[in-house]
Amino acid sequence: MEDAQLRERLGKICSQAMLSFSKEEFERFAQEAKKILELFNEIEQLKLEEEKSLFLHERQAKLREDEEKKFEWNPFENASKELVKENKFVGPKIV
């Protein structure tokens, strides 16, 4: 991409993003953006030849079979009977 074209596009992007740069800051920004684009172009041109994907599509470890057990727990068992009605805590009415 040519420098003039890059600067024009960066100017549009900055105006859309409501960024304001001084001329010196914009020049530094344009140079850095140009370097970044060049690096991305180099990465894009790399050819990967039969590289094994690092993403594992299948689960490698087998999961154990667990038996379902019912857990008996009553959160109201230690509460006084006056505070619990129909499995709900009941307190004084605040008006």
To 5 degrees, how large is the angle CA 55–CA 58–CA 62?
130
- pLDDT attached to residue 76: 72
State the pLDDT at residue 16: 92
Residue-wise pLDDT for 3-43, tens only, equals 889 889 989 988 999 988 899 999 999 999 999 999 988 88
Torsion of CA 18, 24, 29, 30, to 10 degrees: 110
pLDDT for 31: 92
pLDDT of 49: 67
Distances (CA, A) of 3 to 33, 40, 77: 10, 17, 76
Q: How confident is the model over 39-87, as pLDDT tens digits? A: 988 888 877 666 666 776 777 778 888 888 888 877 777 777 777 777 7
